[in-house]
Amino acid sequence: MNYRRRTGAGLVSGAAALALVLAGCGDGDGGDSDSLTVWIMEPGNPEVQATIDGFGETFEEEHGVSVTIEYVPWPDAHTQLTTAIAGGQVPDVAELGNTMTPEFAEAGAFAEVESPDGAEYVDGLAASSVVDGVNYGYPWYAGARALIYRTDVFEEAGVDVPQSWDEVLEVGDTIADEVDDIAPIHVAGAYQHMNQPLVWGAGGEIAAQQGDEWVPGYDSPEGHEALEFFVELWERDWSPEGAVTWNSADVREAFANEQSAMMVGGGWDLRVILDDNPDLDGNVGVALMPAGPGGSRDVFAGGSHLAVFEESENQDLAKEFAEFMIETEQATEFADQIGFLPGTVEGVDAAVGGDPLFGVFGEQFVDHSRAYPVAGWWGSVEGTGAIPDEFQKLMLGDVTVPEAAANIDAALAGAIG
Amino acid sequence: MSTTLRKGGRRSPAGHPDAPPRARRRWSAQKLFDDKLLPLLLVAPAVVVIAGLVGYPVIRTAVLSFTDAAGLSALTGGEINFVGLAQYREIIGDPILRRSAIVTVVFGLACVAGTMLVGIAVALLLNRKFHGRGVLAVLVLLPWAIPHVAASYVYKWLFNDQYGILNWALTQLPGVDFTGFAWFNRWYTAFIVIGLVVIWQSFPFVSIALLAGLQTVPSEVIDAAKVDGASAWQQLLLIRLPMLKPLLLVLVVISTIWNFKIFDQVWVLTEGGPARQSEILAISVYREAILQLDFGLGSALAMVLFTILILFTVVYVRMAREEQP
């Protein structure tokens, strides 16, 4: 009796174990379709992180699935994505800087995605996820830098907002003469997103695609003109010596400390400036980037894509999640918190519509922004820092404009391969 | 019982005429095991672990350095070709990388020299009896306890061209104007700052180790030297330091390994810039292998650094051996 009961219990527990194993198997195949792993760049702000977590929870509830959001620090992002792809341990969805998308897409890491019905993307951001005519990313949020300036200083000097490079120099000279203790504008050797787009303003290209070939574009009349304008700004002695190693944060800090009357920056910069120095509230204006001699005001559309991994077992759900994230409601709330703009035109309008200050960033982004060369090799150019290096050497007087242009083109050609 | 016997045999003075030759022969197999095999067996687990942890990565890196492994395709598709010495030729041919290797040696040696000089000086100071010595000893140790990155950020602020306290302090001196002086604009001024951080953080270890060593120098020797009329300098150069030479050599080896491999300090202060002018090998390896995904070239650079360190260590160990009688 005793023996039998024991056997019975053993059978029951054995069956239960077997059932668990089977259920486990079921979880392995079908269960994956109920769970998503998402990598998001660490926003460095608990409130913003809570917002993203909240989106995840909303999606979980609406779809009856489980979403795990993991935060990756920006500086580690490239390495972490590389190792994940190499080791085959990829998430289902990942946020990545839009200049990284082509590199990983070319390596075959991402699934092809389509835009949701009726969504109109901002060209500059959307363009950087299209490799060989195939789209590999959802434009999530981005920003474009415009001219941030001091209205009070401009008033004191009696000048208007510059509309062209020549006017920047003229207005700058007047400010230097009329207003004490403030530099008209600072240049910065390591601020590549201010310096690189100058070539577009001059009417040139960083590199142009001709058929299947990429042709570097700095060693051209337009490229030289861009570099010469940069040198001209530097040689006016408006920027301190240390600006050779300055980056965007240093430029922003100097502006917030009332050391300069103009700067190139985005909405996120303006937020920090007003937070750091509330006295500036009401004395700051935003204008479109002054046009170069080529007539273009284009700046770099910098931001993030959401990409779905080719190896995700759950591509459909992953795409649904990405589409959910870029919907106007979510994208606007999130972008607003971090001072960026959503990747859709509707989102941009919702985010800044009518705001006289931040609205300009929206106009700059939608109408006057573009992508860096959309190709896998671009990542390696950013990795070497070859372009900012030449800007720094120009400032140090180590190279001439033609030498710098030739060096940049050589670096580009080397990366193109 | 046998152990007692052997031990007893050993304790008897060498060449003792009464020592029984039979007993010696009888235990020679045991002796062989004890003297030769047992140490090997005891060391074996550690050797296996070290071979796995150190040997394998080194060999793997060495092999990679002879290939063109680069990019994601090398990781995912295994598109790797053997290219012989091409990566090493590239290092020699590339002015930035060649310079990086030379700078690593020159700057590394300068840091070692600085670390040793400051370390010895502070150790000698702490070896004297004076009021507040304990407090000073604790203060000296503090820089060592601060993480490299944190210390580097502190120095970055001290030397900031606009808001740094150093430029302000120097400008207070009569006839000196350091307003807006940009320490990180040129490699030579940048390396002064980097060197300061490195030495500031690495001398405490040298000081404390040397202090312990100095206290082992018998006072009779020093007293005898004083009686013979040796000056303080002579006592230091002819007695104290020579007696501590083995310890000094070990400290030099450790400093060399640390100071040739610095990364955090350079990365925080200059990222190797401007325009890669303050780049050293550890930064080059990171740039090529991690940022650029050029694993072949990165491995070759790592092997160059490894070889340099091995060469210096071998030289030091030789010097240490010559010291021994």
What mean pLDDT do residues A23-49 have?
69
Q: What is the pLDDT of residues A84-96, one digit of tens each?
A: 888 888 999 999 9
Q: What is the pLDDT of residues B266-277, one digit of tens each?
A: 999 999 979 899
What mean pLDDT do residues A51-79 have?
91
Pairing of strands A260-265, A35-41: unpaired
Q: Chain A closest CA to B174's CA: distance in Å?
A: 22
A82 and B CB contact within 8 Å: yes
Q: What is the pLDDT of residues A351-397, one digit of tens each?
A: 887 788 889 999 999 999 999 999 888 988 888 889 999 999 999 99
User: What number of C-beta contacts closer than 8 Å exist between A and B?
Assistant: 75
Which residue type does A34 have? D
Averaged pLDDT of chain B:
86
What mean pLDDT do residues A298-316 have?
92
CA distance A284 to A149: 6
* Cα A317 to Cα A37, A175, B187, B324, distances in angstroms: 11, 56, 52, 72
A240 and B CB contact within 8 Å: yes
Q: What residues in B contact A241, CB-CB < 8 Å?
A: 161, 180-182, 185
Residue-level pLDDT at B22 = 54
- Sign of the torsion angle spanned by Cα atoms A393, A399, A404, A406: negative
CA atoms within 13 A on the CB side of B235: 18
Residue-level pLDDT at A242 = 93
Q: Phi and psi of B247, rounded to 5°?
A: -65, -45
What mean pLDDT do residues B193-217 have?
93
Q: Examine the pLDDT at A29 and tell me if it is beyond 60.
A: no
* DSSP per-residue string spanning A226-269: HHHHHHHHHHTT-S-GGGGG--HHHHHHHHHTT-EEEEEE-HHH
What mean pLDDT do residues B185-213 have?
94
Neighbours of A25 (CB within 10 A): 11
More confident residue, B321 or A324: A324
Q: What residues in A contact B181, CB-CB < 8 Å?
A: 241
Q: Per the CB < 8 Å rule, is A190 touching B273?
A: yes
* DSSP per-residue string spanning B107-157: HHHHHHHHHHHHHHHHHHHHTS--TTHHHHHHHHHHHHHS-HHHHHHHHHH
Low-confidence winner among A173-182, A228-237, B109-118, B171-180 (lowest mean pLDDT): B171-180
Residue-level pLDDT at B18 = 55
Q: Chain A closest CA to B88's CA: distance in Å?
A: 18
Q: Examine the pLDDT at A210 and tell me if it is beyond 60.
A: yes
Residue-level pLDDT at A36 = 92
More confident residue, B74 or A215: A215
Averaged pLDDT of chain A:
88
In this prediction, the answer to ipTM > 0.90 reads: no
Answer whether B18's CB lies under 8 Å from B8's CB. Answer: no
- Of the partner residues B73, B180, B290, the one whose CB lies closest to the CB of residue A242: B180
At residue A47 the predicted structure's pLDDT band, cuts being 50, 70 and 90, is confident
Residue-level pLDDT at A325 = 93
CA distance B253 to B25: 43
Nearest chain B Cα to A81, which residue?
B72
What mean pLDDT do residues A51-68 have?
93
Q: Chain A closest CA to B270's CA: distance in Å?
A: 8
Q: Per the CB < 8 Å rule, is B274 touching A390?
A: no
Residue B224: alpha-carbon gap to chain centroid: 35
Q: Per the CB < 8 Å rule, is B274 touching A385?
A: no
Residue-level pLDDT at B129 = 86
Which residue type does B61 have? T
What mean pLDDT do residues A297-315 have?
92
Q: Examine the pLDDT at A10 and tell me if it is beyond 50.
A: no
Q: Examine the pLDDT at B206 and tell me if it is beyond 70.
A: yes
Task: Kindly state the greatest CA–CA separation across chain A.
Answer: 107
Q: Which of A48-57, A101-110, A222-231, B210-219 has the highest mean pLDDT?
A: A222-231
Q: Residues near B58 by Cβ (< 8 Å), separated by ≥ 6? A: B306
Q: What residues in B contact A86, CB-CB < 8 Å?
A: 72, 75-76
A109 and B CB contact within 8 Å: yes
Residue-level pLDDT at B6 = 45
Q: Examine the pLDDT at A15 and tell me if it is beyond 80.
A: no
Q: Per the CB < 8 Å rule, is A245 touching B184?
A: yes
Instruction: Identify the contact set of chain B against chain A, taking CB-CB distances under 8 A.
Output: 71-73, 75-76, 160-162, 180-182, 184-186, 270, 273-276, 287, 290-293
Q: What is the pLDDT of residues A139-180, one digit of tens each?
A: 999 989 999 999 999 999 999 999 999 999 999 999 999 999
Q: What residues in B contact A244, CB-CB < 8 Å?
A: 182, 184-185, 274
Nearest chain A Cα to B286, which residue?
A383
Neighbours of A22 (CB within 10 A): 10
Residue-level pLDDT at A136 = 93
Q: Chain A closest CA to B253's CA: distance in Å?
A: 33
Q: Per the CB < 8 Å rule, is A392 touching B72?
A: no
* Cα B244 to Cα A285, B82, B259, distances in angstroms: 68, 48, 22
Residue-level pLDDT at A31 = 42
Interface probe for B, chosen from A241, A311, A395, A396 (most Cβ of B below 10 Å), is A241
Q: Per the CB < 8 Å rule, is B161 touching A389?
A: no
- Sign of the torsion angle spanned by Cα atoms A282, A286, A287, A289: positive
Residue-level pLDDT at A110 = 93
More confident residue, A49 or A117: A49
Residue-level pLDDT at A198 = 96
A348 and B CB contact within 8 Å: no
Q: Per the CB < 8 Å rule, is B273 touching A392?
A: yes
Q: Per the CB < 8 Å rule, is B273 touching A78?
A: no
Q: Confirm whether pTM is higher than 0.80.
A: yes
Q: Per the CB < 8 Å rule, is A385 touching B276?
A: yes
Dihedral angle at the C-alpha atoms of A51, A57, A63, A65, nearest 10 degrees?
A: 130
Q: Chain B closest CA to A376's CA: distance in Å?
A: 10
Residue-level pLDDT at A353 = 76
Q: Chain A closest CA to B74's CA: distance in Å?
A: 9
At residue B77 the predicted structure's pLDDT band, cuts being 50, 70 and 90, is confident
Q: Examine the pLDDT at B132 and tell me if it is beyond 60.
A: yes
Q: Examine the pLDDT at B143 and tell me if it is beyond 80.
A: yes
Q: Burial level of A262, CB count in 10 A (0-12/13-18/19+)?
A: buried
Residue-level pLDDT at B245 = 87
What mean pLDDT do residues B205-217 have?
91
Pairing of strands A183-185, A260-265: parallel
Q: Per the CB < 8 Å rule, is A241 touching B293?
A: no
Angle, CA A395 vertex, CA A390 and CA A396 arms, to 5°? 95
Q: Per the CB < 8 Å rule, is A244 touching B291?
A: no
Residue-level pLDDT at B37 = 87
Q: What residues in B contact A416, CB-CB < 8 Å?
A: none
Q: What residues in B contact A396, CB-CB < 8 Å?
A: 185-186, 274-275
Q: Per the CB < 8 Å rule, is A384 touching B287?
A: yes
Best CA proximity match to A261, nearest among A183, A191, A194? A183
Residue-level pLDDT at B28 = 78
Residue-level pLDDT at A26 = 34
* DSSP per-residue string spanning B94-107: -HHHHHHHHHHHHH
CA distance A154 to A172: 10
Residue-level pLDDT at A13 = 40
Pairing of strands A130-131, A134-135: antiparallel
The share of chain B scoring above pLDDT 90, in percent, equals 51
Q: Examine the pLDDT at B12 and tell me if it is beyond 60.
A: no
The helices-and-strands tally (H runs, E runs) of chain A is 19, 15
Best CA proximity match to A184, nearest among A241, A249, A130, A264? A264
Residue-level pLDDT at A361 = 93
